Amino acid sequence: MVSKKGRHVLGSLLYLAAILLLSLSSTVVQAQTSTVGNINGTVRDPQGAGVPKTDVVLKEERTGFIRTVKTDENGFYSAPSLPIGIYTVSVSPQGFKKTTNTGVELHVSESLVINLALQIGEVTETVTVTGETPQLDTTGGKVSSLVSEKQVKELPLNGRNYAALVTTIPGVSPGEGGNFAVRGTGLDSHVDMSVNGNQSNGNLWTVDGVNNMDVGSNATLLVFPSIDSIQEFRVERNSFSAEFGQAQGAVINLITKGGGNQYHGTAFEFLRNDALNSTDFFLNSARQPKQKLRYNNFGFNFNGPILKDRIFFFWSEEWRREGRGTVLSAKVPTAQERVGNFSGALTAGRPRDPFLTGGCDPRGTVNGNFGACFPNDTIPANRLSPAGLAIMKIFPNPNNPGSTNWISSALQPVATRQDSIRGDVIINSKMNLMVRFINETWDRKNASGNFWGDTPFPTLSSDWNQPSKSFAVKLSTTLTSSTVNEFQFSRSGNDIFVTTNQAGQALNDEIASKFPTVFPRVKGTGLPTVGWGTDGYPTLWHQAPWDNHQDLWVIKDDLSKVWGSHSFKAGGLFSHNIKNELTTGASGLSTVQSANGRTGNLISELLLKDLPLTQYTELDRQEKVLGRWHDFEFYGTDTWKFSPRLTLTMGMRWSRYSPTYSDNDRVSNYVLSRYDGKNPLSGLVTADKASAAGLPRSLVKPYNAGYQPRVGIAWDLFGDGKTALRLGAGRFMSRS
């Protein structure tokens, strides 16, 4: 026979399964994260007994939002899925004084325990407790850290970049390459940080529950909300519950500010200027001017009610104008070497004519492996390569002695603008609506002329542009006093455009015209990648033209249900994702490889018209892959208040990350089982033949075993909320 407690446990598990099945049938990814919090506790009489079936009223002090819940037979109450804010929690049962706890701060993804101790008396009498908010989590096994509104506003931030605050969290360090730019935005931003030793690209960054990542790199963000528009953010570092997905490392969950019943506004400007800086030591030694720095960050925000207690807005505008000088240095050919004259000071070895034999008198020595030197160590004008001469125009002239004979400070101006608007509507006592839109533009005039390249001096000047958008609409519905549903639709994405600007286009076209191409030249291309191999010259390359488009469409739903001492939550999401990107690089002339084994000098290798290149590849087109994929995720979790001091969390998440397919079917794959030695191409399967090969359109079979169990234990050791033992474990997955 099953005991009463055993039947209760079994019933709880069956109910959890029912909730999970409900979510599977009703909700069809990115970024399923919580944007709300929970408040629970126990209402007790003076003898310590729970007071059953009494109303507990929770009122958000800024907007007037109200939620009323009832205590169970043991006096326990739970208010799930509350908007974050500052609450007043009150209870006034018959025969007792009204008890009120004010100034209760509820943060994102937080479960607060607010116990209410009653005193015998008249309801007209009131007992008020102010600001009694526990600082210790006694309700779950997760490890997380909150960055509060005060920290966001008052901690010093270089460039007012909120991502830098994540580095203050324990266990956070730069990723494998150490490439974390704390002041960067747009394409300059890098957030590939490791949390607790996990992969640096395994983190998930969200804004109001909306994926905020460029999924191509998983290391740059789409938008950087203005510091003054950030309410707070939480870093879920380990053992988070089943409602969080798409992350192996950490979940960085940011919440924007909403308006309230009072009007507030702020205007600001932050200024930096090189007039306040000293000159770089190396620039000073080369008698070059100091690095320029012009930094202006200005904006305003305004918020308040449109209709008191019902409709609120928060509007923010921010601009950045930055011109930051960068110290650059490189080895470059001399002005004489650039036109084939090697009779003066050399930056590399003395060139020899590979088509002649003999010595190199009077300065050279006879070597049977090399030909004679050029007359006066100068390549005759009729033997100079027009393409090589054009490429030489890329190099600046030397201005410094030594092997690194060029040093300068290049200015790279960046302009950004961000428009952010959020509206919150209390439709009625049971329905809340939130709508938020962020538009961000990022423009940079790039001095170095390449994207992720290593050329340390300007090649062909380029313009980089990244417009980004993030939109969310969320409807929260209180179905009963113990049941809340949250539905959210979101869209986020960006475009990236890299173009050769007007200043560099003429030289780009000149270089392209000097190469006798096999295929018609792709419009806008010119400078090929020039690899040297040795002698210390930097590789030359140019990123433009290049473009990218990302769009993430997500629908998700979360259902919260309190049943006795159990708090259930279940939900799911569906995402449609788009990534259109050039895959072949920028230049129609992909690679020119030169080596000094034939002339003894790399520059002469490129300048000598009659000498074939050691490597040359050319593209007939710039191919764009139209990437598409869909993600499905479902979860169910139960937070069980097993006893007043012990809380158990049990959950399961299932994720199906479908492989990416190309919308224009320009993909192929090799299937070993279809190989026939009589036809070497027999194992090659293209997208239009996928079904015949038993494969989906992506030509890769999906992984359907994405089960992720999560468990957690929280034990209040002494029952006073000051010492807790918390344990957690789980399986976590993300798309890489």
Residue 64 sits in the same domain as residue 193: no
Q: In degrees rounded to 5, what are phi and psi of residue 163?
A: -60, -25
Q: Name residues whose C-beta falls within 8 Å of residue 369's C-beta, 6 or more positions apart in sequence.
A: none
Assigned domain for 671 exists? yes
Whether 292 and 324 have beta carbons less than 8 Å apart is answered as: yes
Residue 715 sits in the same domain as residue 651: yes
Is residue 364 pLDDT above 50, yes or no?
Answer: no
Assigned domain for 612 exists? no
Cis peptide before 545 (omega within 30 of 0): yes
User: Which of these three, 77, 103, 130, is where a domain ends?
Assistant: 130
Q: What is the mean pLDDT of residues 343-370?
A: 65
CA 414 – CA 517 distance, rounded (Å): 36
Is residue 483 pLDDT above 70, yes or no?
Answer: yes
Residue 289 sits in the same domain as residue 306: yes
Structural domain range at position 681 = 661-693
Provide the β-strand partners of residue 469. 439, 493
CA 736 – CA 201 distance, rounded (Å): 8
pLDDT at residue 462 in the model? 76
Place of tokens 């075993």: 705
| Top-confidence residue, 189 or 82 | 82
- Cα distances from 78 to residues 11, 67, 89, 188, 640, in angstroms, run 20, 11, 12, 45, 12
pLDDT at residue 24 in the model? 37
Residue 93 sits in the same domain as residue 208: no
Question: For residues 487-514, b (16+ Cβ closer than 10 Å) or e, as one string?
Answer: bbebbbbbebbbbbbeebbebbebbbee
pLDDT at residue 561 in the model? 95
pLDDT at residue 132 in the model? 61
Q: What is the mean pLDDT of residues 609-635?
A: 81
- In terms of average pLDDT, the best of 312-321, 330-339, 397-406 is 312-321
Q: What is the pTM of this model?
A: 0.84
Q: Where are the beta strands (DSSP E) in 513-545?
A: 529-531
Assigned domain for 158 exists? yes
Residue 681 sits in the same domain as residue 712: no
Residue 268 sits in the same domain as residue 204: yes
Residue 315 has which token pair? 């509007």
- Cα distances from 93 to residues 99, 104, 341, in angstroms, run 9, 21, 98
Residue 194 has which token pair? 């490791």
CA 169 to chain centre: 17
Residue 62 sits in the same domain as residue 96: yes
CA 331 to chain centre: 36
Assigned domain for 531 exists? yes
Q: Name residues whose C-beta falls within 8 Å of residue 173's C-beta, 6 or more positions apart in sequence.
A: 193, 194
Which range, of 23-32, 204-213, 226-235, 237-246, averages the lowest pLDDT? 23-32
Q: What is the CATH number of the domain that holds 257?
A: 2.40.170
CA 149 – CA 233 distance, rounded (Å): 8
Q: What is the mean pLDDT of residues 406-419?
A: 86
| Top-confidence residue, 710 or 538 | 710
pLDDT at residue 2 in the model? 43
User: Which of these three, 98, 130, 162, is where a domain ends?
Assistant: 130
Is residue 86 pLDDT above 90, yes or no?
Answer: yes
Which range, of 19-28, 202-211, 466-475, averages the lowest pLDDT? 19-28
Give the number of domains in the chain: 3
pLDDT at residue 567 in the model? 94
Assigned domain for 318 exists? yes
Q: What is the CATH number of the domain that holds 61?
A: 2.60.40.10
| Top-confidence residue, 407 or 118 | 118
CA 108 – CA 236 distance, rounded (Å): 11
Q: What are the pLDDT digits (tens) for 164-209? A: 899 889 998 876 665 666 667 888 788 888 888 888 888 999 999 9
Assigned domain for 244 exists? yes
Residue 71 sits in the same domain as residue 114: yes
Terminal Cα-to-Cα distance of the chain (whole angstroms): 49
Assigned domain for 4 exists? no
pLDDT at residue 452 in the model? 41
pLDDT at residue 22 in the model? 38
Q: What are the pLDDT digits (tens) for 630-649? A: 999 999 999 999 998 999 99
Residue 123 sits in the same domain as residue 148: no
Assigned domain for 254 exists? yes
Q: What are the pLDDT digits (tens) for 421-454? A: 999 999 999 999 999 999 999 998 765 544 444 4
Residue 79 sits in the same domain as residue 149: no
CA 185 to chain centre: 11
Question: How would residue 550 be classed by pLDDT, with cut points 50, 70 and 90?
Answer: very high
Range 691-698 contact pairs with CB under 8 angstroms and sequence separation of 24 or more: 695/669, 695/671, 696/658, 696/659, 696/661, 697/661, 697/665, 698/629, 698/658, 698/659, 698/660, 698/661, 698/667
Question: For residues 657-673, b (16+ Cβ closer than 10 Å) or e, as one string?
Answer: bbebbbeeeebeeeeee
CA 162 – CA 145 distance, rounded (Å): 15
pLDDT at residue 361 in the model? 52
Residue 191 sits in the same domain as residue 89: no
Q: What are the pLDDT digits (tens) for 304-319? A: 999 999 999 999 999 9
Q: What are the pLDDT digits (tens) for 235-286? A: 998 888 899 888 888 999 999 999 999 999 999 999 988 888 787 777 777 7
The fraction of the chain above a pLDDT of 90, given in percent, is 43
Question: How would residue 23 be classed by pLDDT, with cut points 50, 70 and 90?
Answer: very low
Residue 199 sits in the same domain as residue 117: no
Whether 97 and 108 have beta carbons less than 8 Å apart is answered as: no
pLDDT at residue 288 in the model? 75
